[in-house]
Structure 1
Amino acid sequence: MRSTAGSTTPTGTVTRPEAAGRVRRFTTAERRVHRTTGLLMLVCLVTAACLYLGPLAQLVGRRHLMVTLHEWSGVSLPLPFLLGLLSPAFRADLRRINRLAVYDRQWLRAVRKRRNRPEARPAGKFNAGQKLYAGWIAGAVLVMMVTGLLMWFMGLLPFISRTSAIFVHDVLAWAITFVVLGHMRKAFEDPEARLGMRNGYVSRSWAERHHSRWLGEERTGTVCGKADKV
């Protein structure tokens, strides 16, 4: 199994992951933010399905419990992000995600033209697809929270009808479901990426193949060079 960060030599001594050809990708704080956010999102989606899909609602029952879980898991979604701001590593990753570099355009062109060679898809710690996904899901969650609160507290914004809030909430919920499923599918296709999110370390060969610019940033101690900004 490869679930531990270090490895043990025949003499019983534990070697550091860096010495075993691995590099640290995520800190404990970053992994906890991702894991907690994912769990809250899963609760939101599952309870929403139990509320809006007739056959599933009849099978599960306990509608009041499903409503309560759905509301509070949705309200709690920003909490892991806010707590993560206490971590310098998490804040550094936010700066990476919020900046599109010149090579990100090349990555998007390669995806559009279905060029799968690693050299055709240069990326920093996060590729362009991951940056776009993070930005979209953050905006979608914000809209879901606002529309959910409008449904929860009727009359919060009198100039917006509850019917309009429900319509936007439901349509966006379906969009989030499909996008999150796509995100999970990509994760399951890459065991090394999942390992990095599980124990924080990835192999150097994987990083060089998929995130070569990130290794360059790590060596120079920069997050994103001025010359790389779009």
Structure 2
Amino acid sequence: MSRPPERATARPRVPRFTRAEHWVHRATATLMAVCVLTAGCLYLPFLAELVGRRALMVTVHEWSGILLPVPLLLGLGSRALRADLTRLNRFGRHDRQWLRAALRRRGGRPAGKFNAGQKLYAAWIAGAVLVMMGTGLLMWFTHLAPLVWRTGATFVHDWLALTVIVVIAGHVWMAYRDPESRRGLRTGSVDAHWARHEHPLWKQEEDPTR
């Protein structure tokens, strides 16, 4: 009687994100997608004609923008999320080395749990959201400022929105090229070999004595 084939040993995995971080990212991404789609319905004629109901699109766009920071604010109750925000706010020598290597398309890109590109994206999108909210409020509540301010707010809001769409598209493209990174956000863990290769300083970052 032949023996059944042995099951392949599962590759070791390491925890990367908690469930709270997963839901903060998903909720934020959903609200951002609603903002972008409703903005398209307001500014692109063919979408405006296809969807119609401009007043509804304006209301949904306004409220999705106002609610955008809420998932992150609620997620601050998670110790893991607060620790990751601290990591994202730290930019060290190895991050500058990572950027130089990335710009020159070379290997040898040292990174902790987050690489320099992810840190720059997080900082930029956070600042952009704050500016978008400020200019959006000036456009929404017309009594808050004189006409010249509202005109300037509209200009900044519209052009920054276009930039945000381009940057988010780049972020999605980079995530598409790295399935293990996406799996880590979806399942909470990543392949140990991937972690050592893509984020070699991650372990040292968690335990500075190593």
TM over 0.5: yes
2:169 to 178, 181, 184: 181
Q: Does 1:84 align with 2:72?
A: no
Structure 1 segment 1-230 matched on structure 2, within 5 A = 20-115=11-106, 117=107, 120-158=108-146, 161-218=149-206, 220=207
Q: TM-score, normalised by structure 2?
A: 0.92
Separation in 1, partners of 2:187, 2:60 = 29
* SS of corresponding position for 2:24: helix
TM superposition shift of 1:133:
0.5
Corresponding residue number in structure 2 for 1:4: none
Q: Which amino acid aligns with 2:46?
A: P
Consecutive unaligned residues of structure 1, counting only runs of 5 or more, are 1-8, 226-230
TM superposition shift of 1:215:
2.1
TM superposition shift of 1:161:
2.3
Consecutive unaligned residues of structure 2, counting only runs of 5 or more, are 1-5
* SS of corresponding position for 2:142: coil
TM superposition shift of 1:192:
0.2
1:29-48: CA deviation from partner (whole Å, max 9, x where unpaired): 11111110000000000000
Contact 1:21 1:204 in 2 (8 A): yes
1:52-90: CA deviation from partner (whole Å, max 9, x where unpaired): 001110011111111111000000001011011110000
Stretch of structure 1 that moved more, 126-135 or 59-68: 59-68
Q: Which amino acid aligns with 2:150?
A: R
Contact 1:22 1:204 in 2 (8 A): yes
What RMSD, in angstroms, separates the aligned Cα atoms of the two structures?
Answer: 1.8
Contact 1:195 1:202 in 2 (8 A): yes
Matched positions, count: 203
Q: Which amino acid aligns with 2:110?
A: P
Separation in 2, partners of 1:207, 1:67 = 43
User: Percent identical across equivalent pairs?
Assistant: 61
Separation in 2, partners of 1:78, 1:124 = 26
Q: TM-score, normalised by structure 1?
A: 0.84
Separation in 1, partners of 2:148, 2:98 = 40
